[in-house]
Structure 1
Amino acid sequence: MLYLKIKGVLCNSHQVIMTPTFMDLVNINSTMIFISQRSVNDSDVEETVYESCREMPAVIIWYLGLQFINMFLGIPANLMVLWLIHKNKGDSSTSDIFIQQLAVLDVFFCLTPPLELVNIVYLTSSVPWYVLRFFYGIKDTSPLFLACICLDRYMAVLHPITFTKLKDRHHRAILATGVWLVVLAYAAAKCKGDIPNFEKVFTVIILATFAFMVFCNMAILWALRQSGPGRDEMHPVKKRAFKMVLIILAIIVFNYFPPVALFPFRAYYTKDVFRCYIHYLAFGLMDFSSSIQPVLYLSKDKLVLSLALCCQKKKSQIFTSDTTQTVSGV
């Protein structure tokens, strides 16, 4: 005969007597397991991003404001850039293929603010994050096209002979295709979302791209700053190019220096500070490049010249029609 001893009560194996102490212990253990599982799920599902950052909401509000400025300013500006490049195919620069790809990329990214607002403030589902992460991955790698533009201008200024030899070849289209493959591969990997230490890939990309762009622009500025033989002042054309490159360098530093300066020190921030403050501060400034870059391109007198020619043609047509009517009336 087998006997069990539970809480000091001796019982038969065929007639197990559950004492109140043992039943209470079973109920407590099962309740604790249920609560622990439920609390983990509820923390992931029932709390939005905005609610989890309720202690520091100012940066998120500022970030969403910049995103909607991107949508209302960036979409028409980038579409205008695409229209000008298509219209001026015969008089296009060698960098226009990279500018065109960057404008297409920025147009798609500027469509995300409504979904991002709803997802951050209202939704608790993780499904929208897959869509947003894909677009975030596209924007994370957009500086690669900007680096191609810097490389093209660097070759034109510092290596003009090599640049002339490569001017009519299709290497730019091949390079743009290669960049798109990298962009889409990175976006797909970021959309998947469960790759260990994947955030370090972005840190490496942004650091390397930022250093390359700064190097190219600084080299161009140094070359343009050198006056010609027998001249004390810079040529007006060089002076204009110098100012434009200087503006581009300032914009690159403004948009891309915050993630470069902040992200490598991620381990030194608390989890909440990085998630609610550093993350949205750095990416807000970086994403704002979707509006600044096309506006800078349009400011190079291309838009003004096109509109002036358009208005001039309309005025000449009106004048011709009025003259014809006057002559026929006499």
Structure 2
Amino acid sequence: MNNSTAIFTTSEVFSDSMTPFIGLIEILQICVYSFGLLFGLPTQFYVVWLIVKESGTILPSEFFSLNLSVCEIVNFLNCLLFMLSVLFSSFIKIAHSLSGLGITGRPLFECLICVERYLAVVHPVTFLKYKPLRYRLICSTAAWIISLGSCSATRFLGGTQNFTGHSWFFSVQFVVFLSVQLFCCLAVLRALKQSGPGERGREREEENHMKRRAFNLILIITVNMIIINVPMIVSGVITIFMQQNIPALWIPSNICYVLAGFVHPALYLYRAGKLSRLFCA
């Protein structure tokens, strides 16, 4: 296989010591990608259908979730391109271009969701001011433009096999996105421990419930991002240290990346009350 992971650079030059294991690595990668396509892709389409169809219109509160689901659909389709690149090497260039959505698009939209929850809890006046859909549309458009720029950068770095540059590329983004999410998480946690003056018991309980839901959502997204990026960064550091790209190192990153794609739809289905119905059915 001419690539090491769905969101990393190509490994067109394998070391001789890894040659006997290439077949096993290809099988593991195909199994991981197939699992994402068979289960992740239908789930994401179902979430998009729920957001658009069942509500009758796109609610501003779900607009970032809709964009994140669309981004995840492209990411899962990109897994198909990497699988096809086993037989047709021409697909690898397209796959490398779209992998920028996994590096930048997914965490960027997750950050927007975290910031939205942070404003709703900590700065409710500002949140109400920018609550109309047009502001979310502007933010989402900017996020897509940044993601497309990341796709171009990823294709260039993948084409040049610049492993060091690529490792720095996603590591810096990971630090930035994680910092934003941790700030939102801690700010909401602090607000959760504080009670507004003159609040009644029931009002205080309802407000704390809203803050607690926002905190849990941000915390889950932050932990999800750590699970995705830490194995990737560890593999990248080892790759830089050894000055060669070893495909076996990226298997854990592939598994974490694909499984992380199920977190967002599971959260939405849980909030929509659909998850329990699916299990009951």
Structure 2 CA distance for aligned equivalents of residues 187 and 79 of structure 1: 23
Structure 1 CA distance for aligned equivalents of residues 266 and 205 of structure 2: 26
Q: How many angstroms does 1:210 deviate by? A: 1.6
Structure 2 CA distance for aligned equivalents of residues 71 and 85 of structure 1: 21
Matches within 5 A, 1:246-325: 246=216, 248-260=218-230, 263=233, 266=237, 269-271=241-243, 275-303=246-274
**Contact in 1 for aligned 2:167/2:237 (Cα 8 Å):** no
**Contact in 2 for aligned 1:256/1:285 (Cα 8 Å):** no
- Please point out which of 146, 151, 156 is paired with 2:120: 156
TM-score (norm 2): 0.75
- Please point out which of 151, 154, 170 is paired with 2:134: 170
> Does residue 217 of the first structure (1) align with residue 185 of the second (2)?
yes
- Please point out which of 153, 156, 172 is paired with 1:204: 172
Question: Which ranges of structure 2 fall in alignment gaps of 5 or more residues?
Answer: 1-10
The match for 1:135 is 98
TM-score (norm 1): 0.65
Aligned partner letter, 1:189: A
Q: CA RMSD in A?
A: 3.8
Larger radius of gyration: 1
Structure 2 CA distance for aligned equivalents of residues 252 and 263 of structure 1: 16
| Percent identical residues | 25
**Contact in 2 for aligned 1:67/1:288 (Cα 8 Å):** no
Q: How many angstroms does 1:81 deviate by? A: 1.6
Q: Which moved more, 1:245-254 or 1:74-83?
A: 245-254
Structure 2 CA distance for aligned equivalents of residues 233 and 277 of structure 1: 54
The match for 1:73 is 39
Q: How many angstroms does 1:227 deviate by? A: 4.4
Q: How many residues align?
A: 259
Structure 2 CA distance for aligned equivalents of residues 75 and 243 of structure 1: 27
- Please point out which of 12, 21, 30 is paired with 1:54: 21
Question: Which ranges of structure 1 fall in alignment gaps of 5 or more residues?
Answer: 1-42, 308-330
Q: Which moved more, 1:255-264 or 1:151-160?
A: 255-264
Matches within 5 A, 1:76-87: 76-87=42-53
Structure 1 CA distance for aligned equivalents of residues 21 and 262 of structure 2: 29
- Please point out which of 143, 146, 153 is paired with 1:189: 153
